[in-house]
Structure 1
Amino acid sequence: MAAPLIVLSVSPGERRVALRRGDTLDAAFVERPHRPEGLGDLHVARVAARAPAMGGVFLALTGGETGFLPDSEGGKGRGEGDWLRAAVTRAAQGGKGPRLAARPSPEAVTGPVRLLSRGPEAALRLAAQNPEAMIVTDHAATAARLRGVLGTARIELSARPAFDDALEEEFELLSGMAVALPGGGRLTLHPTPALLAIDIDAGAVSGGRDATAHKALNAAALAEALRQIRLRHLAGAILVDMAGMAIARRRELLPGLAPLVAADPALKLMGLTGLGLIELQRRRVHTPLHEILGDPPSPLTRGLAALRRGLAEATRRPGARLALTASPAVLAALADCPGALDDFTERAGALALRPDPLCPPGQEHVHAE
């Protein structure tokens, strides 16, 4: 089996990180440095309130943010106004603040609330989990920084965009909630505040009477569903509705699903519900991709994608004066993203912004003037 490869694409306002095993995308992260996920950050925090019904305390963090410290992670016995060091163990998600765990301090902790250190970025987390993996990036400053942490042997600076067409296509797929299945059919993912629902559509197979074909399609669809859950950092309660199988026959799929579930330490197979839905539970850790990218993609997501395409255009047409035509909402989102437009200017030259209220979402484009 080929050694895993970490691919890091750096563009204005965004870092995209992929873990590849051969031709398979095995992990995906989208990071926006102006709004870091915060996992692993170490804070000096103050107890703002006790929540007996929840079994923990709320902590006031820097920037006016509030996190939750369970009693089992060091909240027990702490009262309002207490100071402590705490690390983020679960990123903010679903409209809720981060979850924390108390960390010992060699000396007394006092205010003000402040950030002591940032947790590792995705590329470094993946490098620690995959010590044999090389990291390929297309950004010189990032390559130099990573070499200072991991050494020169593991970091390769690419003169071409780090993401090839296949990776670009995979990440584009992750920005939507429908996933086509090989041989027909599709998965549709429906995240809600309470749970994630996944529907399997059998496509052309649904009209046939071949029970073996239905079983094979559902087994393949379930395997892809687990992969999509992992790639998108989806978690909490998960229900999967299979296609075209009687409830009694759906139970036949559970033994084959068990080893796939076991490969994801955060995932548990709970069984089959009375309605014949496969029930899963996944521990929440990272912010789900759809909360970063938006569903549908947010104006900022579309604007940053346009800047990526603009860098490619600048490479093809060195010295050309470039302009970005996009809706006012997209341009406003870029203006509010610290450093994104400045980074583009530094790497590709000045970019004129051309608002077009009639520009449809997804049709933003950088062009030569």
Structure 2
Amino acid sequence: MAAPLILVSCSPGEQRTALLREGQLEAAFIERPARPEGIGHLHVGRLSARAPAMAGAFVLLAGGETGFLPDSDGAKGRTEGEWLRVAVTRAAQGGKGPRLAVRAGPAEGPLRLLARGPDAPLRLAAQHPGAELRTDSPACAARLRAALPAGGVTLLSRPAFDDALEDAFAALAAPEVPLPGGGRLIIHPTPALVAIDIDAGGAAGGRNAASHRALNAAALAAAARQIRLRHLAGAILVDMAGMPIGRRKDLLPGFEAVARQDPMLRVVGLTGLGLLELQRRRVHTPLHEVLGLPPSPLSRGLAALRRGVRAAAARPGARLTLTASPGVLAALEAWPGALEEFRQAGGPLHLRPDPLCPPGQEDVHAE
């Protein structure tokens, strides 16, 4: 089996990382370096309050953020006001701070960040030592070469993502996933849980019981892949298409074998209504929280800048104009470094607000 390939695509305000195995997308990360999710960051923090009902304590971090330290990860026996060395083990969620764990070593104030954790390219390189890593950013290549064994990083003279991979990442931001044999998955995150509906659509017409079983088995495998790629977490409910509850139980052994490929995913069973109940441990920020669902003004603006960099490369020296809604332009202006990075990579950029510009129709063109 060929070694996996790690591709890193850098654009103003954003870094996207893909792990490919024999051409198949196996992992996808979208990071915004100006505000990293912080997994692996090492802090000096101060225990601010015990929380016995939650079996843990709250720890104040630099910048005013508060994280949660479970008793099982070092809070037990600690006292309020105590200084601690803690690492971020789970990204912040829905207004709640990150999850923390105590790391060995003495600690004393002030509050500060001691070290940053690895980003997606470095994590994947550590998990797959034989993988080749390719990036289209000189700065990213230099940083990765300083951290990884010699010869493992290639700087590309073209975009790291081809059209097929661009389409695959765009599809991860969409709520609907077409299924190869017909039908679709509909993915609907809520604050409490993620609901996934298997919609057989026209593929359901005239099918016998065996065909329905095969359709649902294939759809469940596709759902497991989407759960992993999108970093979905927490409670997840899957509604199968057109099967009595008794027959749905027959699909559990096969799906459990699929689910075991994801160490963070656990199959709980079927609810009384016949919904497949899953639970996935949260570590990284789900893609829909990074991008928005539908995509946020910032996500649409960063995507426009990414297209603009390619347009600038195709027409060196051209003065480009970005036409977008005022909300998109305001989001870009507020995001640290995004417009400055574009101007360094692509040259001058004029911003033209258009209140009638529909979402997703942001346009970068030469004047």
> What is the CA-CA distance between 1:2 and the residue it aligns to?
2.7
- Aligned match of 2:285: 287
What CA distance in whole angstroms lies between the structure 2 residues aligned with 1:135 and 1:209?
A: 45
* Residue 196 (structure 1) aligned to one of 194, 197, 222: 194
TM-score, length basis structure 2: 0.98
Q: Does 1:101 align with 2:101?
A: yes
Cα shift readout 1:224-277 (whole Å, capped 9, x = no counterpart): 100110011111111110001111111111111111111111111111111111
Q: How many residue pairs align between the two structures?
A: 367
Equivalent residues in 2 for 1:296-315, closer than 5 Å: 296-315=294-313
* Residue 115 (structure 1) aligned to one of 83, 107, 113: 113
- Aligned match of 1:56: 56
Check conservation: 1:205, 1:214, Cα contact below 8 A: no
Q: Which amino acid aligns with 2:35?
A: R
Q: Does 1:335 align with 2:336?
A: no
Q: Which amino acid aligns with 1:51?
A: A
* Residue 184 (structure 2) aligned to one of 173, 183, 186: 186
- Aligned match of 1:10: 10
Check conservation: 2:66, 2:98, Cα contact below 8 A: yes
> What is the CA-CA distance between 1:151 and the residue it aligns to?
2.7
Is there any run of 5+ residues in structure 1 with no aligned partner, and where?
none
Check conservation: 2:175, 2:188, Cα contact below 8 A: yes
> What is the CA-CA distance between 1:199 and the residue it aligns to?
0.3
Q: Which amino acid aligns with 2:214?
A: A
* Residue 162 (structure 1) aligned to one of 143, 154, 160: 160
Check conservation: 2:181, 2:203, Cα contact below 8 A: no
TM-score, length basis structure 1: 0.98
Q: Which amino acid aligns with 2:55?
A: G
What CA distance in whole angstroms lies between the structure 2 residues aligned with 1:209 and 1:356?
A: 49
> What is the CA-CA distance between 1:176 and the residue it aligns to?
1.5
> What is the CA-CA distance between 1:152 and the residue it aligns to?
3.2
* Residue 151 (structure 1) aligned to one of 149, 152, 171: 149
Structure 1 SS opposite 2:339: helix
What CA distance in whole angstroms lies between the structure 2 residues aligned with 1:12 and 1:352?
A: 15
Q: Which amino acid aligns with 1:255?
A: P
> What is the CA-CA distance between 1:302 and the residue it aligns to?
0.4
> What is the CA-CA distance between 1:162 and the residue it aligns to?
0.3
What CA distance in whole angstroms lies between the structure 1 residues aligned with 2:113 and 2:166?
A: 34
Structure 2 SS opposite 1:167: helix
What CA distance in whole angstroms lies between the structure 1 residues aligned with 2:95 and 2:221?
A: 29
- Aligned match of 1:74: 74
What CA distance in whole angstroms lies between the structure 1 residues aligned with 2:133 and 2:364?
A: 29
- Aligned match of 1:352: 350
Equivalent residues in 2 for 1:248-267, closer than 5 Å: 248-267=246-265
Is there any run of 5+ residues in structure 2 with no aligned partner, and where?
none
Tell me the percent identity: 69
Q: Which amino acid aligns with 2:72?
A: S
What CA distance in whole angstroms lies between the structure 1 residues aligned with 2:30 and 2:203?
A: 35
Check conservation: 2:176, 2:185, Cα contact below 8 A: yes
> What is the CA-CA distance between 1:95 and the residue it aligns to?
2.5
Moved over 4 A (4+): none
Structure 2 SS opposite 1:265: coil
Cα shift readout 1:309-339 (whole Å, capped 9, x = no counterpart): 0011111111111110011111111111111
Cα shift readout 1:36-55 (whole Å, capped 9, x = no counterpart): 01000000001111111000
Check conservation: 1:46, 1:61, Cα contact below 8 A: yes
* Residue 277 (structure 1) aligned to one of 275, 278, 284: 275
- Aligned match of 1:132: 130
- Aligned match of 1:35: 35
What CA distance in whole angstroms lies between the structure 1 residues aligned with 2:180 and 2:238?
A: 18
